[in-house]
Amino acid sequence: MRLTRLLVWLAGGGLAATMIVGAQHNGIWPPPEKAAISYAAAFVAITVGVIVWQLRPESRTGLLLTAWPFVALLEDLRTVFAGSAIAVTIGYATTWMGAPVLGHLALSYPTGRLRYRLDRAAVGVAYALAAAFGLATILLFDPRPQWDGTITEFQHHAAPITHIPGSEAAGLPDAFDRSLLPLAVLFIALLARKLVRSTPGGRRVVLPLAIAGGFAAVQFIVQFALVGGPVNSYSNRHPVWFWVVNGASLAIPLSLAAGLVWGRRARAVVADLVVELERTPPGSVRDALAHTLGDPTLELALWLPKQGSYVDAHGRPLTLPAHGSERAVTTLGPAEAPIAALIHDPVLLERRALLTAAGAAARLALENERLQAELRAQLAELRASRARIVSAGDEERRRLERDLHDGAQQRLLSLGLALQLVRAKLGPDVDGAADLLTEADVELRAALDELRELARGIHPAILTEQGLAAALKSLAERSPVPVTIASLPDQRLSAPAEAAAYFLVSETLANVAKYAQATHVRINLTHVDGRVLVDIDDDGVGGADPARGSGLRGLADRVHALDGRLALESPPGNGTHLHAEIPCV
């Protein structure tokens, strides 16, 4: 590919030189001094094109940039070497190709891809028209009879070698220009749309070429409006238009050079970024980078080496867009151990120097941000795993309670019925057997009581079956210290929230009975904004210390596992107030 580009460049140079020399001797147009300016400019443009092609081989922009002045040179072969049938044939075949190549270049810059369907259609139609007219011209057009003694272009002209004898088709060149007119208007509209839809950073890149392309189209339309006829011959006759047309051609490589110069401003912009990062609060590096790069759509993906994945600043997993999608990805840091990736407008790839420099400047801040994101990701995972552990524990408690109820308890109850049957069969007391049966019955009842308390402590069936409100009422009724319930949620809440609230109240009531020497407890539960608020007050001795018992500590853990809060106020001698907020997730 390198060789191809070298050969293309050498061919361009050779062609330009040949044409400058040719114009000195036998050309009919342009005059020697104008030819030197025109063709040297074309060679400069080819050189710029080949350099861009070399630097960005994956983009079609370099190829198009090279092709455009090349086509302009080929087109002029028919006037510089007007006497040569081969030169005239090549010249006429390529005469119309300049416009579609320019349109393609300006609309696809800088990625080299035409993004919108209408862009592709307009460029496709322009290429097809140019090819059709080129072919028609070399087959049907004989320039010689066109010379009326005024238009120098047709003096001494040879006919194309492919010309079909007898055909004249004098209106062909004019017809092409007419058919190009609506396309030129559409092209200006498409350029305007491209600018409007660009990000601010992208617009800065696209603007110089858009202005140059727009200028070429506008001058074409203006010329056409002035003469209403073949534009080429008109511009040939009027020296002002010569400069306008050549100025338009030169504007393209010059505008690219301007873009490159603009790129040098990157350093100044990055210097501002460094200052800005100094003042940036944690988590705002993305904003600073988006501002510096002029891309408000910029996303920051931070690489977590341990997880081997990207996350956003909040630690949430993030997938990079696939290659070839609408968004481009620039990885910062070494490829084997990246720090972060920027997901951005693909136009920014044209300002790679700025991207890399900004990335390097933000490196320390990004490292910092990455550590924070890592911490957040770990915290989120820890929180989720805590909630899972509590939930699995609750499920296990429910299962145990069901097993006790369906198994041992049912067997003991059946045994009770069996004892009754035995007693009935025995009739009058035989050797004190009735007393033994009574004792067995007492034992059985004690076993059933203990079993029931055990099952209730593990996970009360009433909580599963009838919900928090019913379970708390039953709890309050059994409490040795009188309990007033101010309010209870009137709907079922999530199972983890119900379990947490129930065990919170149950453990607190047990503590009150054991330590508080209270005469009264007040319980208030309200369901507000997806959270259940629990308040428990007693009039006891106070001085409860959360660090003292494992019970309260365990309750706090349970509440925290659900991302809730627990607060305890227990001034000595002044009762105890417990407040908890449990999210109903």
Q: Does 430 bind another protein (CB under 8 A)?
A: no
Q: What's the CA gap between 387 and 472, in Å, rounded?
A: 23
The identity of residue 347, as a single letter, is V
Which lies closer to another protein via its Cβ, residue 487 or residue 517? 487
**Site for another protein contains 221 (CB under 8 A):** no
Stretch that binds another protein, among 237-245, 250-258, 418-426, 539-547 (CB under 8 A): 418-426
Q: Taking the mean position of all CA atoms in its chain, how far away is CA 548?
A: 51
One of 474, 479, 494, 524 touching another protein (CB under 8 A): 474
Give the shortest CB-442-to-another protein separation in angstroms.
Answer: 12
In this structure, the number of other CB atoms found within 10 A of the CB of residue 155 comes to 15
Structure token digits, residue 298: 């910029």
**Backbone angle region of 214, left / alpha / beta, with phi > 0 → left and psi within -120 to 50 → alpha:** alpha
Cβ pair 283, 188 in contact under 8 A:
no
Does residue 479 touch another protein according to CB under 8 A?
no
- The radius of gyration computed from the CA coordinates of the chain, to the nearest angstrom, equals 44
> With binding defined as CB under 8 A, does residue 473 bind another protein?
yes
Asked if 26 is part of the footprint of another protein (rule: CB under 8 A), the reply reads: no
470 binds another protein per the rule CB under 8 A? yes
Least distance (Å) between residue 393 CB and another protein: 23
From candidates 368, 466, 479, 524, binder to another protein by CB under 8 A: 466
> Which of the stretches 316-324, 458-466, 517-525, 535-543 binds another protein when contact is defined by CB under 8 A?
458-466
How many Å apart are CA 194 and CA 106, to the nearest integer?
A: 10
Asked if 388 is part of the footprint of another protein (rule: CB under 8 A), the reply reads: no
The two structure tokens encoding residue 321: 């867009």
User: CA-CA distance, 122 to 184, in Å (whole number)?
Assistant: 10
Residues 6+ apart with CB under 8 A from 531: 564, 581, 582, 583, 584
The answer to whether 151 contacts another protein (rule: CB under 8 A) is: no
Nearer to another protein, 353 or 448 (CB): 448
Q: Based on the shown chain and the rule CB under 8 A, indicate whether residue 426 belongs to the binding site for another protein.
A: no
332 neighbors 358 (Cβ within 8 angstroms): no
Binding range to another protein, per CB under 8 A, among 1-9, 94-102, 238-246, 409-417 = 409-417
Among the listed residues 265, 314, 478, 553, the single contact to another protein using CB under 8 A: 478
Out of 144, 411, 514, 553, name the contact with another protein by CB under 8 A. Answer: 411
Q: Which stretch binds another protein (CB under 8 A): 57-65, 91-99, 162-170, 420-428?
A: 420-428
- Give the C-alpha separation, 10 to 5, whole Å: 9
CB-based contacts of 355, cutoff 8 Å, min separation 6: 293, 330, 342, 344, 348, 349
Nearer to another protein, 238 or 402 (CB): 402
Dump the DSSP string for 46-75: HHHHHHHHHH-TTSTHHHHHHHHHHHHHHH
Q: How far is the CB of 392 from another protein (least distance, A)?
A: 25
Non-local CB neighbours of 4 within 8 Å, separated by 6+ positions:
none
Q: Residues 195, 196, 200, 201: is their CA dihedral positive or negative?
A: negative
8 A C-beta contact, residue 516 and residue 538:
yes
With CB under 8 A as the contact rule, which of the stretches 66-74, 221-229, 444-452, 573-581 interacts with another protein? 444-452
Kindly identify the residues of this chain, within the stretch 316-375, that bind another protein according to CB under 8 A.
none
* Under rule CB under 8 A, residue 454 binds another protein: no
448 near another protein, judged by CB under 8 A = yes
**For another protein, which residue of 10, 418, 426, 486 counts as binding (CB under 8 A)?**
418
Other beta carbons within 10 angstroms of residue 487's beta carbon come to 12
Binding of another protein by 492 (CB under 8 A): no
Q: Closest approach of Cβ 583 to another protein, in Å?
A: 26
- Report the nearest approach of another protein to the CB of residue 381 (Å): 39
Task: Report the nearest approach of another protein to the CB of residue 409 (Å).
Answer: 5
* CA distance linking residue 46 with residue 15, whole number of Å: 11
* Sole window of 185-193, 261-269, 319-327, 412-420 interacting with another protein (rule: CB under 8 A): 412-420
376 versus 452: smaller Cβ distance to another protein: 452
Number of residues that bind another protein (CB under 8 A): 25
422 binding another protein? (CB under 8 A): no
Q: Which amino acid is at 75?
A: E
Is residue 402 near another protein by the rule CB under 8 A? no
Q: Are strands 328-332 and 340-344 parallel, antiparallel or unpaired?
A: antiparallel
Which residues are 303's β-sheet partners? 310
Query: What does the DSSP 8-state code read for residue 409?
Result: I
| Contact predicate 236/223, CB 8 Å | no
Q: How many CB atoms lie within 10 A of CB 302?
A: 27
Contact between 405 and 451 under an 8 Å Cβ cutoff? The reply is no
Residue 568 as a binder of another protein (CB under 8 A): the answer is no
What is the bridge-based pairing of β-strands 483-487 and 521-528? parallel
458 binds another protein (CB under 8 A): no
Counting contacts by CB under 8 A, is residue 462 touching another protein? Answer: yes
**Residue 169 found at the interface with another protein (CB under 8 A):** no
d(CA 103, CA 256): 16
Q: 356 vs 409, which CB is nearer to another protein? A: 409
Does 58 bind another protein (CB under 8 A)? Our answer is no
Q: Shortest distance, CB of residue 501 to another protein, whole angstroms? A: 17
Q: Which residue has the tokens 């208030």?
A: 524
Q: Which stretch binds another protein (CB under 8 A): 47-55, 274-282, 393-401, 465-473?
A: 465-473
Pinpoint the alpha helices (H) of 228-320. 231-237, 239-263, 266-279, 285-293
Binding segment toward another protein, per CB under 8 A, in 189-197, 220-228, 367-375, 471-479: 471-479
Query: Is 560 one of the binding residues for another protein (CB under 8 A)?
Result: no
Instruction: Using CB under 8 A, list all residues that contact another protein.
Output: 405-406, 409-411, 413-414, 416-418, 420-421, 424-425, 445, 448, 452, 461-462, 466, 470, 473-474, 477-478
